[in-house]
């Protein structure tokens, strides 16, 4: 809808909403792993094997920087609608003991409401009163992002800035790419302002994402990889930012999944990700600038 509106395409989209019961619980653990532990995950094909997990369990790997370390951070993230104990057992069955051992301390898991999980990037003020979102305006979100989001979320995603954002469907057996991503992040200069304003995420949507294809008009793959980078000083930072984005793009495309037939269209911001013959035909048929 957003893309259609921006392009001036007069296509009406009908959306059906239904109310469902909130799951009784959510369990999650975001585990910071070091380079050696990442190698353990790669060796054991942790990401590819996650494809066999129940739909109630979702696994992702996130690469970014934190202020308390000079090394890149890799976060091994697990979100589940099962209990922590049941999730750990499922992980051991599908990913093996060597990988599940990284997250088998139940005291380090969060087991709370699904809403609490959704509010992880939210500011303390918003966490205390989530109903504030009912009255928020677009202007307020843009002008006062820290009223709604944490500082790190604001820097990496929410703040007004120049930015690049790329997404690709990738093959589930893409673990070798993780080492390349980590190495690319290692090469970011230690004092570069972009360090706190970038992240790469590789995620499986909980079980087999493409089982939902009949509910979605967009071709779906099994695993999605995305990268986002923000900057403020366009004169001095654009060249480096676009060059680094191109490097990450090359890494992601090395394991791109060609089966969906076209890229994930949630983030069409760079040349080359905006071409699709069917959508172009719709565009030329309905856009008032062409009619």
What is the tens place of the pLDDT at every residue in 183-224?
999 999 988 999 999 999 999 865 556 677 777 667 788 899
pLDDT at 279: 66
The pLDDT of residue 133: 86
Task: Say if residue 111's pLDDT is above 90.
Answer: yes
Alpha helices in the chain (DSSP H): 2-7, 35-43, 46-49, 84-95, 97-100, 114-118, 124-128, 138-143, 151-153, 176-186, 234-253, 277-286
The rounded percent of the chain whose pLDDT value lies above 70 is 83
Measuring CA to CA, which residue among 201, 222, 200 is closest to residue 211?
222
Helix count and strand count (H, E) for the chain: 12, 7
Contacts of 203 (CB under 8 A, 6+ apart): 58, 59, 60, 61, 223, 224, 225
- pLDDT higher than 50, residue 268: no
The residue written with tokens 């590789």 in the block is: 202
Closest by CA position to 208, among listed 191, 226, 221, 192: 221
Residue 34's pLDDT band (cuts 50, 70, 90) = very high
- pLDDT tens for 130-189 read 998 888 887 888 888 899 999 988 888 878 788 998 989 999 999 999 999 999 999 999
User: How far apart (Å, rounded) are the C-alpha atoms in residues 275 and 28?
Assistant: 37
Mean confidence (pLDDT) of the chain: 86
CA distance 105 to 41: 17
Which segment, 14-23, 103-112, 141-150, is predicted with the most confidence on average?
A: 103-112
pTM equals: 0.84
Question: Of 37-41, 83-87, 155-159, 244-248, which gets the smallest average pLDDT?
Answer: 155-159
Of 3.30.460.10, 2.40.10.10, 3.40.50.720, 3.40.462.20, which CATH number belongs to 21-118+161-286?
A: 3.40.462.20
Residue 86: pLDDT band (50, 70, 90) is very high
Domain positions in the chain are: 21-118+161-286
Question: Which of the pair, 263 or 238, is modelled with greater confidence?
Answer: 238
DSSP state of 1: -
């Amino acid at each position: 809808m957003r893309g259609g509106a921006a392009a001036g395409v007069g296509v009406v989209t009908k959306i059906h909403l239904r109310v469902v019961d909130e799951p009784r619980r959510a369990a999650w653990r975001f585990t910071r792993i070091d380079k050696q532990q990442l190698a353990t995950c790669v060796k054991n094909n942790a990401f590819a094997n996650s494809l066999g997990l129940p739909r109630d369990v979702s696994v992702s790997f996130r690469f970014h920087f934190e202020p308390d370390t000079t090394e890149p951070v890799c976060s091994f993230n697990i979100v589940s609608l099962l209990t922590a104990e049941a999730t750990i057992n499922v992980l051991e069955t599908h990913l093996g003991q060597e990988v599940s051992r990284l997250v088998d301390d139940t005291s380090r898991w969060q087991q709370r409401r699904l809403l609490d999980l959704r509010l992880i990037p939210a500011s303390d003020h918003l966490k205390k009163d989530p109903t504030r979102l009912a009255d928020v305006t677009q202007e307020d979100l843009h002008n006062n992002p820290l009223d709604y989001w944490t500082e790190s979320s604001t820097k990496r995603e929410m703040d007004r800035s120049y930015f690049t954002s790329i997404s690709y469907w990738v093959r589930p057996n893409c673990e070798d790419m993780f080492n390349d991503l980590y190495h690319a992040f290692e090469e970011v200069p230690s004092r570069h302002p972009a360090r706190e304003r970038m992240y790469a995420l590789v995620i499986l949507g909980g079980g087999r994402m493409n089982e939902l294809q009949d509910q979605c008009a967009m071709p779906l793959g099994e695993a999605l990889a995305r990268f986002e980078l923000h900057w403020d000083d366009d004169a001095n930072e654009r060249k480096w930012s676009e060059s680094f984005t191109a490097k990450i793009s090359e890494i992601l495309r090395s394991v791109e999944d060609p089966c969906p037939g076209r890229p994930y269209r949630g983030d069409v911001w760079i040349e080359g990700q905006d071409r699709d013959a069917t959508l172009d035909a719709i565009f030329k048929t309905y856009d008032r600038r062409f009619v």
